[in-house]
Amino acid sequence: MKHYPCILTIAGSDCSGGAGIQADIKTISALGAYAASAITAITVQNTTGVNGIHPVPPVYVKGQIEAVMDDIRPIAIKIGMINDTEIAHTIADCIEKYRPRYVVFDPVMVSTSGCRLMENEAIEAITSSLMPSSTLITPNLSEAEVLLGYPIRDVATMKTAASDLLKYGSKAVLVKGGHLENGSMCDILQIRGEETPYIYEAQKVASKNTHGTGCTLSSAIATYLALGEPLPEAVRKAKEYVYQGILSGKDIHIGEGHGPLNHFHSPVPMHILDENE
């Protein structure tokens, strides 16, 4: 029996289509896998910012996850925005119950426009219940600073931060340095048990169309893991996908703020796996 590699994204909905669940589904589909989703919150937002967040009741978040896991059994789960403590614990309980092979957690705390998206109580909940179950967490500099309580301004501090964030229990940490003060593009991957971090550098693309890049990157990593890539290679391929998406979408005008990248710059056919894969 053959099947598609499936990734479940658990995240908030972006009505403007550039981030959140919508970006995740586009990314997973563009990379040739099957996307399922569980919505944690409905947001009122567009390319200029977030104007409202309405959490989905935890019982319905749980119901969505269980419906997908009981039937389709995804290889990987990507977790995005969580705005509510009870939802965080609900997701953690589901992960404990189903134990998916990979969990990629993007702790979305601050939007591209600078809006704070997560309550303080929810931050405590995700660090204690979700991060220990994660294969990888992918905070950007602002989120890493919230979690660690000190400023991160250069690559040396990023390396320290990546190592320090392992205290929350994940198997690996990817600190995203897209907003370094010197304008460089550098991400640091630290894997538990390994002394030397992986450093990913890329040329910065001059574009304001960066809405949803974090969502897209974490979904791409989860997809490549589901397709059998080892973590360092999954990160490398995901970063290249995002880079090409920004590059090919930099001159497109969608909205008056931070527009989306081009998720379908180079779509691939659906992957088909044998039952034993």
State the catalytic residues: 176, 210, 212-215
CA distance 33 to 85: 30
CA distance 174 to 77: 17
Instruction: End-to-end CA distance of the chain: give it in Å, rounded.
Output: 11
Phi, psi of 143 (to 5 degrees): -70, -40
For residue 37, with 0-12 CB atoms within 10 Å meaning exposed, 13-18 middle and 19 or more buried, which class applies?
buried
- Give me the count of residues in the chain: 277
Residues 6+ apart with CB under 8 A from 62: 90, 93, 94
Residue tagged 């040329």 (tokens)? 203
Residues 6+ apart with CB under 8 A from 230: none
**Sheet containing 185-191, strands listed edge to edge, beginning at the edge strand earlier in sequence:** 49-55, 34-46, 6-14, 76-79, 102-105, 136-137, 172-177, 185-191, 198-202
